[in-house]
Chain A
């Protein structure tokens, strides 16, 4: 009977699905199978929360007819009794590349960058490819489908994963028996975006994350402009973008910062993306939730590090150890915060690993209902296909799994995965469970056989007394083959037998001497899950998240305190000069009183006797706290903003605070004559990027001159400009165009919005200030003359190492200078750089600041100011101003910070010694009245880090001992950015 049923099902499947009504048939007669199939006595998960015990699922023509407790089964129904089994909707993966060949990077000759697009009639940037339709690249892959079906998936949503704008995807039912006519559920299922360049295209722009975001913004603005019929030329990319506008929009974020960035881009254009998450969202739940997006979550939790070698363990940062410990918590945290998410196999090494991590997420507290939703209803909802897939409600595709029990239990067997009414057998549903302990007597000895593992893939352990023997098992098509050896492999026993209804195992036995015999093993007891599995179900201790979530992060973000610094030597940076034995009161983040014998009231009193209190140091030129520094794909990158790439997890923020730095201008690099817009931040360690960036931030842009922009020091000869003569012309061209653009815009006539020109117009209108990387006198003079021609002023020359040669001209122009104390000799254009530069410029009445452009020097800018006393004899007070109020002036922040004055932000540093001295240490660094660095707290942090590292190392050692996979210790490379980092 069993056999007959199997054959029947098979016939029935293949008969109807190939038939398409209006297709002629020449190899037989047209026939249709309109029979029903009923699955009875099952536990049916109609939806993750609607569960029917002992129910019936009725399907016909590949769709669900009914699922319920009492279903009247039509006469022309084939009934399959699945009592004791469970039925779930098959899983859906929203983010797959199924059936689409992975794009390969073509081998390239030479290293010269390509600046021009390779296409005609499309968008100007090759990485914008919304015209791609994945359906045209799609080819059903039966082999991969098998793997997915075995993992429980019934529908996958696939697309060509290449480029920034990637075009449309295709929704596929994994119906191997069918044709694309059945399986392709939607050939324009969604539109896709990412922050990653195309691997098959070689156009150099964008080289950076901020370039990518700028490109996306410009693309959308161009789309709207094009939609209004304003373009004279044809752009098939923009046309496709317009055509795809109403599809589901999916953005691959890949880490929590990028998730937010993607959402911002969407918000600005009235689009809500579904976002492919990175797995680290748990570190910033509030902001992630605020996006309102649905998330698509890869399940690729990191393996533990192999820390058995203590020396190698030293290379692993606390951040990475914690990531191993905390990442499996991400799904639970997202669920707890009411964030809707689906799971994807994207980025999983294998289906087995995906399943293992899914179980892990549940062990870490994710509810099984939410897990099931993430595999069924949520992906269906993301795709707008809830009525067709993801549930077993009437009318849905008959996509479902039959399992031995709870699909999220390790010991559960998945028997069958039905897609569009077509069955794929994963494990034989009729296979007998032979797991358990048996006793075998043969050849004068007793052996104990223990069979465990999965029902259809059992494992065996055979013991003679307590001695474990080498053994093998194979179990297929009801036949069991067993072998084991004794006497250290000398004697091999082989057995083979048909498994019957009986509880015992029996069959042919071949003895070590080759003689054939029979065996009969009596069952002692059935199989029980071991305690080890129970242990697995307990989540390990999870380390608390800190702000930021790396070493030296705080368990809570420092808060403003009313603080009285008592009896300090106060370097006001104002006309009052240096005040001895003076008190400074801080309240609500502001300096409220300066005087002697101030009343403490309820303030926290800091005894500053013998210590020096100064304003916090401001670094006019720094590249810490950034994810990227140069957009080098074009010679102008005014469209990019560093505010897009602020990295709050940079340890240099903390180390800078320890050096008394409270504010910094995060500048774009010096790859281009016209660089990118700045992010000006306060170093609020632990806060979000948004909270670090100044409110009402003054607007700045980086310009650059000389060797870097003409690419003198690396083998690049194809980009304009290659000489200082060309640099001038870049400016003339851009400012002229900016002027014309602004005039057109102000005239009220229609114009194409251009981010770059908007920024240039801001400069011309005095709304945005230039900080220009500069070295030799000729170019410094040139840029001032260009500005004069366009009636604006250069705000700051940064580096400005030959400023001393044109100090009089700079003074006349009214430009400020932000320079190094003593750097020179590293390239040809700094041959005449002298440490007296600051002193000379200062003597000519220029506002001079000392900057770092270096994450190490930035934490010792007080000492660098000390050098200005040495080289050129500037007074100590004036030298001190060069790292505080002067950079504040250059950044137009002097009304808020940079000196100790009533009403200003309480950005303060308490020094152990004279602040310009090599011997001074910051004991407290305060930003907006909250202490972000404290020498005493730092000591405690060091101890806490050592303790936590030790604890995590022990946990990882246990993980290794328990046989779990580990990876080699690794130290992440945190790239050190300078101006010329590409």
Chain B
């Protein structure tokens, strides 16, 4: 029997290089993490903390000096840090495996206004790219279709699952829309200048959006003889059960987007991108608009901009009192594991470290509407969290020893760690 297990393990070890890690089983025993610095994800920090979770839920968060019974397995995490799982908004993780291989790409469907296109059913829970998120603490993502004007409907998933049903945290949570640009790049391949010029069709493009919103709303008000999938898919925006994620960067475009969407009955609006949102924070506050600001590792959009404007943009919004999170929608999916470092970058710009953490945990959860369960270390919430040897927002010290989703103890191995071990093993064997 032992032998069989041994052989099995060996087979697994070799074949694992080409398959995903096996999802962790449900939490059966309570876990206690003691002595760590707990970063709660809501701006608060508890040094020498005590954290317990059971049945996938956090049952206690407090000071380790508390005289209270430690339950289940006790992990001594003295000198270590515990964080809520990082949340990645607006990504196509699991919808494309290798960017340049068309056969592996399921992120962009034909059509311009296709809110009925749903990401969830194409989400590949066994993606090697998804798997590589976990060792850096990125445990949850909003998976959104790409392209077109209205790209489709996203769902929120957790990153350790057998299949998409298993992965789903919030199904069909929001609709994603690329706002027109009031400046447009010349079609250089047709002999036009490469530069950006005012978009003559901007008003027309806005009109198309208005018309689509109005039709969608009208459609919902009576029993239609024939079903219109696209109009029907918009219903959640008008009753507030779904959010509208509008991707846009310019000051003018943001104002237009919010005004138009509101005027057409959209209840919950989130700006994704928001490069110039810092210029109109009063407007955003008045309208109660959250911003998923573009990740910090970008060049400035304009030549004369401060070299560090993308670095400090989240801070500018945070300081102005906007509900702000960080997304990296425009980056390659694999980059999403760098979310903690995008947040870390804002610390160099003077943002408090706990606030920086909030940008990718508590705030992202709030903006995505999953804050009842995720994003912070609070009693009653899901035990989706990780332990790092050091400061998780800095590269050198982002070293995970444990990670949990809903209390399930995840494997931190990946296709990549296996190749690492395999080849180090080869060279060590040669010595």
Partners in one complex: yes
Chain A proximity mask over B188-203: 1 for CB below 8 Å, otherwise 0: 1000011111100000
With a cutoff of 8 Å between Cβ atoms, the chain A residues found around residue B424 in the complex are 840, 843
Whether A968 contacts B395 in the complex (CB less than 8 A), given A826-B99, A843-B424, A949-B304, comes out as no
Residue in B101, B128, B430 with the greatest tally of chain A CB atoms within 10 Å: B101
Residues from chain B with a CB closer than 8 A to the CB of A855 are: 299
CB-based contact A918/B345 at 8 Å: yes
Which of A122-130, A593-601, A970-978 is the contact stretch?
A970-978
Give the contact stretch, choosing among A363-371, A411-419, A537-545, A802-810: A802-810
B304 touches A945 (CB 8 A): yes
Contact with B along A539-554 (1 / 0, CB 8 A): 0000000000011100
Is A14 in the interface zone, CB < 8 Å from B?
no
Answer yes or no: B155 CB below 8 A from chain A CBs.
Answer: no
- CB B87 to nearest CB in A, in angstroms, measures 19
B393 at interface by CB-CB < 8 Å: yes
Q: A808 near B430 (CB under 8 angstroms)?
A: yes
* A603-B248 Cα distance, complex, nearest whole Å: 50
Q: Is the CB of A834 within 8 A of B419?
A: yes
Shortest C-beta distance, A809 to chain B (Å), equals 11
- Chain A residues within an 8 Å CB radius of B344: 918-919
B417 to chain A: which residues have CB within 8 Å? Answer: 834, 836
Taken residue by residue from 155 to 187, chain B's Cβ proximity to chain A (1 for < 8 Å, 0 otherwise) reads as 000000000000000000000000000110110
Closest partner residue, chain B, to A867 (CB atom): B395
Interface string of B329-356 (1 = CB under 8 A from A): 0001110011001001101100000000
- Chain A proximity of B421: nearest CB distance (Å): 9
Contact B307 A713 (CB under 8 A): no
Asked if A853 is an interface residue, CB under 8 A from chain B, the answer is: no
Which of B251, B297, B423 is within 8 Å of A805, CB to CB? B423
A825 close to chain B: CB less than 8 A = yes
Tell me whether A406 is interfacial, beta carbon within 8 Å: no
Interchain CA distance A836-B419 in the complex, whole Å: 9
- B283 in the interface (beta carbon within 8 A): no
B197 touches A856 (CB 8 A): no
Chain A residues with Cβ below 8 Å from B98 are: 825-828, 831
- Report the Cα distance A652→B128, complex, angstroms: 34
Q: Judge whether B198 and A968 touch: CB under 8 Å.
A: yes
- Given A804-B423, A822-B338, A918-B348; A311-B252 close (CB under 8 Å): yes
Is residue B398 within 8 Å, beta carbon to beta carbon, of the partner chain?
yes
Determine which residue in B100, B298, B306, B341 has the highest number of CB atoms from chain A within 10 A of its CB, and name it. Answer: B100
Q: Does B308 contact A (CB under 8 A)?
A: yes
Residues of A within 8 A of B300 (CB): 655
Given contact pairs A317-B304, A805-B423, A844-B427, A825 touches B395 in the complex (Cβ within 8 A)? no
Contacting residues of chain A (839-865) with chain B, CB-CB under 8 angstroms: 839-840, 843-844, 855-857, 859-860, 863
In the complex, A314→B305 CA distance in Å?
A: 10
Taking a contact as CB atoms under 8 Å apart, the answer to whether A311 and B185 are in contact is: no
Shortest CB-to-CB span from A842 to chain B, Å, is 12
Q: Is A186 an interface residue (CB 8 A)?
A: no
What are the interface flags for B383-401 relative to A under an 8 Å C-beta threshold, 1 for contact and 0 otherwise? 0000000000111111100
Smallest CB separation, B420 vs chain A (Å): 4
| Interface band, chain A | 35 or more
B250 touches A840 (CB 8 A): no
- Does A265 interact with chain B (Cβ within 8 Å)? no
Kindly state the separation between the CA atoms of A912 and B185 in the bound complex, as whole angstroms.
39
Cβ–Cβ < 8 Å partners of B333 in chain A: 825
Evaluate whether A825 and B394 lie within 8 angstroms (CB atoms) in the complex, with A315-B196, A317-B304, A804-B423 already known.
no
A311 lies within 8 A of B394 (CB)? no
Q: A551 CA to B303 CA in the complex, in Å?
A: 7
The answer on a CB contact under 8 Å between B332 and A318 is: no
Bound CA–CA A856/B345 (angstroms) = 14
With beta carbons under 8 angstroms apart, the residue of A844, A866, A872 that contacts B395 is: A866
Could you tell me the distance between the alpha carbons of A807 and B424 in the complex, rounded to whole angstroms?
A: 10
Contact assessment for A836 and B420 in the assembled complex, using a CB-CB cutoff below 8 Å = yes
State whether the Cβ of A951 lies closer than 8 Å to any Cβ in chain B: no
- Taking the nearest CB of chain B, how far is it from the CB of A772, in angstroms? 20
Interface string of B276-294 (1 = CB under 8 A from A): 0000000000000000000
Q: Which residue of B lies closest to A825 (CB)?
A: B334
Cβ of A707 and Cβ of B398 under 8 Å apart?
no
Chain B residues with Cβ below 8 Å from A945 are 304
The residue on B at minimum CB distance from A821 is B395
User: Which residues on the A side are within 8 Å of B334 (C-beta)?
Assistant: 822-826
List of A residues within 8 angstroms of B144 by Cβ: none
Within 8 Å by CB of B348, from A651, A843, A921, lies: A921
List the B side residues contacting A808 at CB < 8 Å: 427, 430
> Which one, A312, A831, A938, contacts B307 given CB within 8 A?
A938
CB distance from A773 to the nearest CB of B (A): 15
Q: Are A834 and B416 in contact, with the CB atoms below 8 A?
A: yes
Q: Which of B100, B183, B397 contacts A827 (CB 8 A)?
A: B100
Q: Does chain A have a CB within 8 A of B129?
A: yes
Flag whether B54 is at the interface (Cβ < 8 A).
no
Bound CA span A712–B186, Å: 27
Cα separation A762 to B423 with both chains bound (whole Å): 36
- Please pick, from B197, B251, B304, B420, the residue contacting A551 in the complex, using a CB distance under 8 A: B304
- CB neighbours (8 Å) of A654 from chain B are 307
Distance between Cα atoms of A876 and B345 in the complex (Å): 19
Is A872 a contact partner of B420 (Cβ separation < 8 A)?
yes
Q: Are B100 and A713 in contact (CB under 8 A)?
A: yes
Is A835 positioned at the interface, with any CB of B under 8 Å from its CB?
A: yes
- CB-CB under 8 A for A658 and B307, given A832-B419, A856-B298: yes
For A837, the closest partner residue in chain B by CB is B420
Residues of B near A319 (CB, < 8 A) are: 303
Q: How far is the CA of A526 from the CA of B196 in the complex (A)?
A: 50
| Residues of chain A lying within 8 A (CB to CB) of residue B406 | none
**B393: which of A824, A918, A971 is its contact (CB, 8 Å)?**
A918
Whether a CB of chain B sits under 8 angstroms from the CB of A869 is yes
| Residue A920, interface by CB 8 Å | yes
- Interface contact B197-A970, CB-CB below 8 Å: yes
B residues 89-117 with Cβ under 8 Å of A?
A: 97-101
CA distance A868 to B301 in the complex (A): 29
Q: Is the CB of B196 within 8 A of A917?
A: no
Nearest B residue (CB) for A804:
B423
In this complex, which of A713, A867, A870, A974 has the most chain B Cβ atoms within 10 angstroms of its Cβ? A870
Q: How many angstroms between the C-alpha atoms of A311 and B338 in the bound complex?
A: 33
Find residues 407-428 in chain B having any chain A CB closer than 8 Å to their own CB: 416-417, 419-420, 423-424, 427
Contacts of A278 in B (CB 8 A): none
Closest to B349 in A: A921
> Measured between alpha carbons, how far is A652 from B299 in the docked complex, in Å?
9
The 8 Å CB contact of B183, one of A843, A971, A974, is A971
- Residues on B with C-beta less than 8 A from A859 are 307
Cα(A804)–Cα(B398), bound, Å: 23
Distance in angstroms between the alpha carbons of A823 and B416 in the assembled complex: 12
B6 at the interface (CB under 8 A from A): no
CA gap between A824 and B395 in the complex, in Å: 18
Chain A residues whose CB sits within 8 angstroms of the CB of B303 once the complex forms: 317-319, 550-551, 651, 974
A283 within 8 A of B: no
Identify which of A311, A867, A973 contacts B251 (C-beta below 8 A).
Answer: A311
B residues adjacent to A (C-beta < 8 A): 97-101, 128-129, 182-183, 185-186, 188, 193-198, 250-252, 297-300, 302-304, 306-308, 332-334, 337-338, 341, 344-345, 347-348, 393-399, 416-417, 419-420, 423-424, 427, 430
List 4 tightest A-B contacts by C-beta distance, closest first.
A918-B344, A827-B100, A866-B395, A836-B420
Pull 21 A–B residue pairs with CB atoms less than 8 Å apart, ordered by A: A317-B304, A652-B299, A654-B307, A655-B299, A713-B100, A825-B129, A825-B332, A828-B101, A831-B98, A832-B419, A840-B423, A840-B427, A863-B395, A916-B395, A918-B393, A918-B395, A969-B197, A971-B183, A973-B185, A973-B188, A975-B194
**A-B contacts besides A707-B100, A826-B99, A826-B100, 6 pairs, CB < 8 Å:** A658-B308, A804-B423, A843-B427, A855-B299, A856-B299, A973-B186
